[in-house]
Chain A
């Protein structure tokens, strides 16, 4: 059995969104309950969360943006940059705490104290751009983690797999000219779904050309289409790239019962997909894998999805 880290902190529940907003604290409690009911909590190593050092955040976000976010929060603003980004007085601190916990998980994995980790955090991150909050996201958790692996541990090749049903525009843009980070995303086609980026012909730019890959999925498609695209696009790309560590942007909103998307994935498919990603981490990355929660809004399905996700991290 693997030494799997689990990042969860009740303070992640303090970030509150407004009415009609699906990105709610209950998402995390559903995940926690799912792991508890599966008897998995005892098998996991809890990762402590402390606010992130700003030096890591400004490797990804502009200082101006971080200050603007903090100021908006302190001023009691209920919205930031976009109507999708509803917030409360605790949002800034919560976002810092999410990044801090994820970096701690990365550190423990890199130092060999953990094999891998699952970070159940809020707010999510992959839509956040260097200087703009978007799509429920404030700090780009995964991008900051990738920069941390580069700068703190000298990794020359970090692979990101983003299976949230929405394209991670922020992550892609942050690394689009950096060949030291490979960004792969599979998501609902941008002509139908938020945020309207992640088209098949986006491959990165400059030195990073060829180190971004997107697999758009048409509405109504499901397990078989995803499988075909992963086999065609992701597996050969990572076999070629051989990432030294893999970061997963784990979004469970492509599930057929999640009404945030029109894709029709089954619970079993998420299990299969995660097994493949784990196998790639074993083959290319000495097993080093950090999974970070992004979307996933079906409170009924999240417990089982999280349980299976973590079972794979524990058992391969």
Chain B
């Protein structure tokens, strides 16, 4: 769950004296939207985003191109002039949760990762975070989602996990969510198996209520957003 595991290590960087056209070409070529600006020794001094470039270049540059005269006038404009100097950064030891909160609060699309001395170690973009969460949720691993209603008291999850483990079934992930009834929780184990019929039977025998997952989701959605043919409350 640490940033160092999820960040992109091979970062496309640029120097502060480079022209903005260089920055633009670098972005297009590498299909990135953020380029950290570094000085000698990978010391981070700023970041330049595609939005910074769009504000600096005439709109026509991206549409039909601009005349050589116009271009030579802009040639002197360098990355240092348009980059953001006050950069939101994180350290490799941040957790993914930390990074999510920083991204949420700072409203930026990517966070340079720097060590204690300010040296660039990597970059973490919204896309990297999405990939990390796809992993955490086990999306893409073959499995089946169960939906169990439990009373909110200590030890419930343990009983469920023990029962499922005894049957030799592995977990991809477990989510615990609030339920609309007080003192109840909805538990969503994602089981790495196709063979869930006997697991469901056992849980029912233990006295748990298996929720119809649609019912649970639907109660969280406003009526107009519900798929067709679903029960309206």
Contacts and interface: CB of A to CB of B under 8 A. Distances in A.
Interface of A: 20-22, 82-84, 127, 134-136, 166, 169, 191-197, 218-221, 224-225, 259-260, 262, 297
Given A82-B142, A195-B143, 4 more contacts: A82-B192, A127-B194, A194-B143, A196-B142
Contacts of B213: 192, 219, 262
A22 B139 contact: no
Interface of B: 139-145, 167-170, 192-198, 200-201, 212-215, 227-230
Contacts of A262: 212-214
B140 A196 contact: yes
Contacts of A192: 144-145, 213
Contacts of B194: 84, 127, 135-136, 166, 194-195, 260
Contacts of B197: 22, 259-260, 297
A225 B229 contact: yes
Q: Which secondary structure dominates where chain B touches chain A?
A: loop
B218 to A, nearest CB: 9
A169 B142 CA distance: 9
Contacts of A191: 139, 145
Contacts of A193: 144-145
Contact of B227 (A196, A218, A260): A218
A196 B134 CA distance: 12
Given A219-B213, A259-B200, A262-B212, A20 B144 contact: no
Contacts of B200: 259
Closest CB pairs A-B (n = 4): A195-B142, A194-B194, A20-B198, A135-B194
A197 B141 CA distance: 9
A260 B167 CA distance: 16
A136 B193 CA distance: 10
Contacts of A136: 194-195
Contacts of A166: 194
Contact of A84 (B141, B167, B195): B195
A134 B214 contact: no
A166 B143 CA distance: 11
7 contacts: A22-B198, A83-B169, A134-B142, A192-B145, A195-B142, A195-B194, A259-B197
Contacts of A84: 193-195
Considering residues B145, B168, B195, B200, which has the most beta carbons from chain A within 10 angstroms of its beta carbon?
Answer: B195
Contact of B215 (A22, A127, A220, A260): A220
A166 B168 CA distance: 21
Nearest to A218: B214
A135 B192 CA distance: 10
A80 B141 CA distance: 17
Contacts of A127: 142, 194
A69 B227 CA distance: 43
A192 B195 CA distance: 13
B145 A20 contact: no
B144 A194 contact: yes
Contacts of B195: 20-22, 84, 136
A193 B197 CA distance: 12
A285 to B, nearest CB: 31
A220 B193 contact: no
Contacts of A22: 195, 197-198
Given A83-B169, A192-B213, A221-B229, A260 B142 contact: no
B170 to A, nearest CB: 7
Contacts of A220: 212, 214-215, 230
A45 to B, nearest CB: 33
Contacts of B227: 218
A193 B142 CA distance: 9
